Structure 1
Amino acid sequence: MTNKPVESHLLEAKVSSEELCKGGFLHILRDTVRLPSGKLTTREYVVHPGAVVVVAILDDGRVVLERQYRYPIGRVMIEFPAGKLEVGEDPLLCGQRELLEETGYSATHWAYAGPMHLAIAYSTEVIHVYFARGLSLGERSLDEGEFLDVITATPAELLQWCGEGLVTDAKTLTCTLWLQNVLSNAWSLNWKSSTDQPLAGG
């Protein structure tokens, strides 16, 4: 959009907020808000620290993926490597750390694709999408209690898995869209050396 549309008739204003739950990872709030009509209603949502997902591309064009059991849905999922941000952490550094810890890969060049809001109706979570290339394989360093397999696939195989319903993880589906458009040159990336230390999200 070249011109920002008028939004004032859509905005909701917070009147008050109460804490419903605060765990070690997630924080759940219920806010009372005033609608554009003037009426009051409530919004329940999860406060999330944010995360990073990495589309790591090998020299032969294959991408690095993981197979990991996800307890809430009771399934082993195929996903791109990802992890949550620590407080105040640079998303790029988070992506570099998570890729190395989970897969053993480090990369010489990184590109920031953009932010992704995972569940806009009930969560503040923003996932920063990074691409990585110039990969070299070292040793993994999984967190205590973390179990996952590292696999690779060609972009065509990954796309087929998405179409067959084998991949249903939202961030991985979105990253596959990014990957398609990058490989077709429809979307461009600003690649930087890992030693350039670009600003977070830049």
Structure 2
Amino acid sequence: MSIDPALHALSESSERLNEATLSSESVFKGRLLDVRRDKVRLPGGAEVTREYVVHPGAAMVVPLLADGQVLLERQYRYPLHRAFIEFPAGKIDPGESPRQTAERELLEETGYRAGKWTELTTIHNAIGYSDERIVLYLAEDLVVGDQELDEHEFVELFTVPLAQLMAWIASGDVTDVKTIIGAFFVQQHLAAR
């Protein structure tokens, strides 16, 4: 793989933008999130406070059925107090690779196993306040089984053509960022075939 010279030059010049950590403390540590407060030195020498969330990372799966439809789920997301349409996803457990997380989440949330996996990309969905990364996968050659939902997990599954999902994204009916990015990547992936 060749390195883009312009991107390489930007990467090298970004060293001048680095902020040096002077101290770090945990403000809150829960089951999922670790809220941190760091004192940093800016490139110009000033000292400021940075607050951010440490997250273990996640994986998301775009399940593509043989008939070209995608498998979606609807689930309630408490911070926004409503149900969202999204692809299956979940946090990376200790000792698990992103791919293992994707396989586990696909099985738990949908009951499906995939015979073919393609890593699409990695996104950083909240760079202003979190180090979370989400690795996106395309899952094909699906075989259906039984859902293995966690005790307090409730999801509704349904399928739609990818074109319908793209229309919902364009109309603003689907707003989950990982689902939107996954849909666009799969659309490009399929067009390239």
Note whether the superposition's TM-score is higher than 0.5: yes
Matching of residue 139 in structure 1 with residue 141 in structure 2: no
CA distance in 1, matches of 2:22, 2:57: 25
Which residue number in structure 1 is paired with residue 69 of structure 2?
62
Unaligned runs of 5+ in 2: none
Unaligned runs of 5+ in 1: 189-202
Which residue number in structure 1 is paired with residue 170 of structure 2?
163
Secondary structure of the structure 1 residue equivalent to 2:167: helix
Which residue number in structure 2 is paired with residue 72 of structure 1?
79
CA distance in 1, matches of 2:136, 2:176: 14
CA distance in 2, matches of 1:123, 1:8: 20
CA distance in 1, matches of 2:149, 2:128: 32
User: Where has structure 1 moved over 6 Å in runs of 4 or more?
Assistant: none
CA distance in 1, matches of 2:97, 2:25: 29
Deviation at 1:181, TM superposition (A): 1.1
Q: 2:4 aligns with which of 2, 5, 8?
A: 2
CA distance in 1, matches of 2:40, 2:106: 40
Q: More deviation in 39-48 or 4-13?
A: 4-13
Q: 1:100 aligns with which of 104, 107, 122?
A: 107
Which residue number in structure 1 is paired with residue 47 of structure 2?
40
Q: Over aligned residue pairs, what C-alpha RMSD do you find?
A: 1.1
CA distance in 1, matches of 2:119, 2:126: 21
Q: Deviations over 1:91-114 (max 9, x none)?
A: 111111110110011110101112
Aligned partner letter, 2:110: T
TM-score of the aligned structures, taking structure 1 as reference length: 0.89
Q: Deviations over 1:52-110 (max 9, x none)?
A: 00011000100111000001100100000001100121111111111011001111010
In the TM superposition, 1:18-29 aligns within 5 A as 18-29=25-36
